[in-house]
Every structure is written in C-alpha cells, then in structure tokens.
Structure 1
C-alpha cells in the first residue's frame, strides 16, 4: 500500500472511532442529545444531559456515573467512567470549564453515548487498554447562565492551584485519586481573522516544572495525532495563543499560553500528566456557516470529535511511552534534586529570579497556616507531617515542584508563605 493510501485509510479509521454514528451503536435504543435532536440548532439542556447519563449508566455495564461535587447553586459536577476493567492507562476529559463554550461538552456527551453502546472491535480494543474518565460539564452553573465563570464569577480555569471553587476542588480530587496519564481540556475561542482563525487550536503544558518526557509526549499528542486527525477531516489547526502572519505563517505575536500553574493545562504537567488544551473556533468560518448557525454549531462540535479521534489513536499507539513518561515523573520528586521554576515557559526561558536553584528541604507551617490550607494541600495530594507547633511539608515527594508553587514566597500564586527549612 503506498504511503498516501495508507494515510487515507488511517484517517478513515480514526474518524470512525471519533464519530461513531448512533446507527452503528444501536439506533433504536441509544439516546440522543438535545443538540442532535435539533440538528445543532440548540445546545443540550441540563435535564437532557442528566437523562442521557442516567440512561447510559443503566444500559451499559461499561459505564458508571458518579457525583464528584456540587456547585454553589446545587447542580451536580459528575464524573463518567467508561471501561470494563482496570487498564494500563487513564485518560481524563474535562469538558466546558467555561460555561459559554459548549461545543466541547457536546462532543463529550456524544462520545460517552457512542462508547457506551458501540460493539465494534476498535472500541473494544480501545477500552481494553484505556479507561476513559469524563467530566461532561465542569461548570454547570456557568453553562446554565451561559457565562465564562461560575455562579460567583470565578474563572475555574484560573483556580487549579488555589482551589477556591467547588468545581476546581472536584477536579483536583479526581486527578489525585485516579492519576490520569492524559488530561484533555476542551474549550472554545473567538477568532481574530487572518491572524488567529483556525478551526482548532491546541497547546501542551508550557510550565517548566513539567518533566521533559511528559512535555515531549504531550507535544507529540498535539502535533503528531490531534492536528493530523483534524486536518484529515478538513479542519485547520494551529498553536493556541500564537498569532501568525497570514502570508508566511510565521509567528508574530503571543497572546496566551504562558506557564501559569493555575491553568489546568499547566497544572496537568506539574502533576505529571500529559495535558492538552483544545479550542474550537466559535465564529463562522464560511458564508454558509454565517447564514446557518446550526451548521456552524455542528462544525464546532464535529471538529472537537475528530480531534478526540487523534487522542484515542495516540493512547493506543504510544501506550508504553506514555506509561514510561508519567511513571518516571511521578517518582522523580522523591529524589529531591534539581531546580524548581516559579516563572518562564517552554518558549520563554526563566529569568534567574524565577529559578529556585537550591530548593529547601521543605517548608514549615504554623498551626494557623495548616488549619487554613490543610484541605487544599490534601486535595492536591501533598503529604504533610504534623508537628507540635504546626506542620512540615517536605519536598521529597511526588509533587515536589507543586509544594514550592504552593508555599514558597517567590511563587506568584502561592497559597501561603511557608518557612523554608534548610537543615537537611
């Protein structure tokens, strides 16, 4: 088979796994989202989502739905687990952290339903090796109000360090307890024509505390799998946060994508998971989409689904490399060596003041500090030893860099200033 034909066959297989038609999964019994029922004319409502999840939970042994949190307005934050047994890898999808970015949520609901009912061999192989976890609506109050933030106006995707919101706390607990190898975060963006208007943008963790092998695998996920899958289906792709010259394609301006640890994409890397942010374009890209909002909505959702196909192929083909990268990163902190970065990014070298070249042995907290932040430390999976006058947090643990980001006065978003211990 010549290389071009092999590429087309592979793209077709990826697309089949990405968008499993309800007819293939048993159209007479499988439920449809509100989005599907209206041909994309409106987004799936919360009651429709709850009904769909309850139906697939009851109908499929490979699906379980649990509540992992409750919003301020009383809505459930739910986790869907899709898999038949313990597997070698775990992938976590976080859908619509921003309530006014609904296409990722629609892609997640569609994928949950399709994987629940599908009987094809490709799906069986995928689920035999990978457990898929999905938070279908990470910001239920924001989705109900069609707002970026939650009901308190807080941007959840700037709260993955401080954990002030019920929504971010729920996600942190999932990451701590399930230890996903990949965290895939679905969003949308507004275009700036000519310079910044691809169908899909994506970006890996830029935070410099991300282990090199984890960083490289995340970049491979983007450039070797997600973008090619989208391109094969006719969608344009690029790097999130980078404006490019419309003639040469050269980068001319960076508008986002820094190393902030409080963003989920970056926190994923700090916590030793392959993170990837994916953003579909909200704005119509053609006159036909301009004239028909439902057509534009379908393109927004379908582009996300094709990108998911690239993610699933990546986990199938690079399982060993993924496992090796995340496993090595999780034990590296126990060696307690090397600098810790409180600034910079993979495309922006840290300044000397942003590098803790000789980190302390740990940080001492007063009794009041420990009482104020013990819950957040626990949600992050930080090991803490109680002492007579407070608590001691050693750097010799898996989340070594995160300890400094939380407790060192030099870290820009630190929770509290622990007293450095240099007695080791």
Structure 2
C-alpha cells in the first residue's frame, strides 16, 4: 500500500493537498499563459534531493509574483544571516495581521529541526498549490481561512542538515525563553497573528517493534490548555489527520507512546509530555489549537535502500495527505475552532482557577505543581525587568511600569503563561519575580 501511495502522490503530483482542493496539476494563473508553474528542487528531481535554499527563494519569489493570494515577508534573520520568511495566503492575501485575527487561520511551521526536511517540502508544495489552484473548493477555503506558512523555520539547521540551529540549540525547546532568533520570530507571529490552529511538521526515527507507524501526531498535553482548545486539537488528530493518512494507505498512532505491535496496547511513554517550552504546548497555553506531526524516516524497505528517492517521497507524501486532513478540519470545524480559541483568550481576564506548573493530560501533576490560588500579579525589580522585558513583549504579555521595574498582572489573555515565565516554582521560568496579592489593574498596552 505504501509504495502505491508514493506513486500516486508525487509520481503524478496528483494526490495530497492538490487533488482534494482542486487541480490535479496546478495550472498557471490567468494572464500567465506560457509561464511555467514553479516547481521545487525536490519535485524536479522526483525526490532524489531536497530543495536548496537558493531554489526555495526562487520558488517563493515566483509564486509571490504570480498570485494575488500570496504575500511573503522576511520576519527575521538567523545568526548566519539567512532569512526567516512568513508566507501569507488568502483570497485575497491578507495585508496585515489584523486581517488574519478577524477570521479563521492556520499556521504551518515547517522543519523546526533542520535534519527533518520532509515537512518543508510538503509546505512548499502546499504554498504553490493553494496559490495556483482554480478549484472552487480552494477558493472557498481561502475566503474563510487565512493560511500562514513558515516554510523553513530553521534555515541554518536546514543548510547544515542538523537538528539544532547554528548554535546547536533545539528551537523546539526555546518557545518560552526565546533565546534564538528562530523562536523569537515564531513568537512574534503567534503574538501578532494569533492563529487559530498551529500545525508543526516533524520527522522521527522509530524504535522497533514498538514505534513503527508511518505518521504520529500529538496535541497540546499541557494542563493549562483550555478545555475547548484541547478538545479541538484532539479532534484534529483523531478525526481528520489520522483518517486522511489511513485512507492513503499509511499507518498512524499517538506520538510519544510505544505500543505492543500485537495488541496495540501502550507499553511505555517515551516523549510527548506537557512541557510548556515545546511549541505545541506553548501554543495551547496561548489559546491556539496545536498539533505536532511526526513522519517515520526509517527503517527502509529493500526498494528504498536501492533508491533513496522512494523513501524521501514516502515521507513527503504522508505529510501531504496529513495536511489535507488538517485543511479539512479547518474548513468543517471553523465555527467550533473560532469559538474555542476566542473563549480561551478571554478566560484569562476572569482571573480565576488554578495554574499548572507540571503534569499533562495523561499524567496528574505532582505535589507542588499546582498553583491553586495564584497571586494576582508578579513584581519585577529594575534589573529583572531589563532582563526579561523583550521576551515578555514578544510573547504579548502585558505589564504596568512601577518605578524602574514593572508589575505583571495575571488578569490578561495570557494569564496561565505569566507564572510559567515568572514564578520560582515553574520549571523553565525566565526570572524569579515577587508574587503580589494586592494588585493594580492593567488595561490596554504596556507602559
């Protein structure tokens, strides 16, 4: 089944996201007769090699020029000077973040880990297909849902084929501290655009015989994720991504849990906890539906050993069909998604309920990991405020200046995030701020 699916998806460029949303081979837009449709380096080589950085830039430039559905911004630079790009797609392309915040939106984060290129290739193909397709279903989707894409979230790592960035930092463990240029760029996108759904594309090396599924996915497990957001995230995984992947002939499972190959019963949890600095969990804490998707790299079949392009195509194919499931979710669950994310972001202003410093949706918090009655604010002295104010601003956390320092109230949209950043008991706090029980009210922006 898997080899048949590979032939269908990339052999003809017909299945995956392109076919369900319309054209079997995306045609040039009106007025571009004779202009070749852009192709990635991966596509032109039929999976024999990954798209280079120069080819990506040329590809995105061609798509941007050809389609009114697309706008591309440089939102940052890596330590080595490579651009971090954000692609905005809609019908028409949204001009500003406010246009995205007013409606439904999906953010694709591609290849946070530089040695996991299949997600990037699927994202580039998706950008082109959404930009060029003339199918009514595609237009209807883009009229109601803006799509944001970070095609290469870790450009230095992708160039070097390394998991981390040029400093060896795992970006997917930096979404609280924001020490890397890459994580800072992503935080700014989350703050400014407030995507309803974030979809994070990865790859993994399995452990036989307990961990051999073609595609695994996992929602935010962090206990500070609002119930409605958690419910929609699990629906995205179980009701849309898994069925789409299975229909294409691939196997699926839950990321981070070994299962008995004979019975399917859980054997051991090896990853996928509620750690707040991982993007899918940070996303949940901030009120967005999040999903991590992991595609199997190996073991290789005899045919894949003889022709590595077969393995490369299988990895990209499974990402593409999973993306189709994600877009179907965005289309069919749009009112529910918008209601869940709006409620999650408003809940912080009521300023009540516990904040969790540990645990997960499958692991009860331990002793001392629940702030049952959180303080109403945290006070930062001058040195602490200087140390963390840029990170607070990137997260979108509000504060009130007090002398040379600041007061950060919990009564705000990112209520649950504040203790994770500032409380001494939090596992990944940025600084140890002073809890306050009598607090001023902060309304509006920082200052």
TM range (shorter): over 0.9
Distance in structure 1 (CA, Å) of the matches to 2:410 and 2:23: 46
How far apart are residue 378 of structure 1 and its match?
0.1
How far apart are residue 285 of structure 1 and its match?
4.7
Task: Name structure 2 gaps, 5 residues minimum.
Answer: 1-14, 440-447
The verdict on how the C-alpha distance between 1:318 and 1:416 changes in structure 2, with shifts beyond 3 A counting, is: same
How far apart are residue 14 of structure 1 and its match?
7.0
The superposition leaves residues 222-274 of structure 1 with CA deviations (integer Å, 9 ceiling, x where unpaired) of 00000000000001000001000010000000110011110001001000000
Q: How does 1:13-412 map to 2 (within 5 A)?
A: 16-17=19-20, 21-24=24-27, 29-83=36-90, 84=92, 85=94, 86=99, 88-412=103-427
Where does residue 3 of structure 1 map in the other structure?
none
How far apart are residue 30 of structure 1 and its match?
1.1
Where does residue 7 of structure 2 map in the other structure?
none
Decide whether the 8 Å contact of 1:204 with 1:219 is kept in 2: yes
Counterpart secondary structure, 1:161: coil
The verdict on how the C-alpha distance between 1:206 and 1:381 changes in structure 2, with shifts beyond 3 A counting, is: same
Distance in structure 1 (CA, Å) of the matches to 2:340 and 2:61: 36
Count of residue correspondences: 413
How far apart are residue 22 of structure 1 and its match?
3.2
How far apart are residue 18 of structure 1 and its match?
6.3
Distance in structure 1 (CA, Å) of the matches to 2:26 and 2:198: 29
Where does residue 9 of structure 1 map in the other structure?
none
Distance in structure 2 (CA, Å) of the matches to 1:38 and 1:21: 19
Decide whether the 8 Å contact of 1:243 with 1:251 is kept in 2: yes
The superposition leaves residues 142-200 of structure 1 with CA deviations (integer Å, 9 ceiling, x where unpaired) of 00000000000000000000000000000000000000000100000001122101110
Decide whether the 8 Å contact of 1:25 with 1:114 is kept in 2: no
How far apart are residue 368 of structure 1 and its match?
0.7
Task: Name structure 1 gaps, 5 residues minimum.
Answer: 1-11
The verdict on how the C-alpha distance between 1:252 and 1:19 changes in structure 2, with shifts beyond 3 A counting, is: farther
Distance in structure 2 (CA, Å) of the matches to 1:301 and 1:41: 12
The verdict on how the C-alpha distance between 1:23 and 1:125 changes in structure 2, with shifts beyond 3 A counting, is: closer
Decide whether the 8 Å contact of 1:18 with 1:308 is kept in 2: no
Where does residue 12 of structure 2 map in the other structure?
none
The superposition leaves residues 33-85 of structure 1 with CA deviations (integer Å, 9 ceiling, x where unpaired) of 00011110000000000000111111111101100110000000000001115
Counterpart secondary structure, 2:20: helix
Decide whether the 8 Å contact of 1:21 with 1:114 is kept in 2: no
Distance in structure 2 (CA, Å) of the matches to 1:20 and 1:89: 24
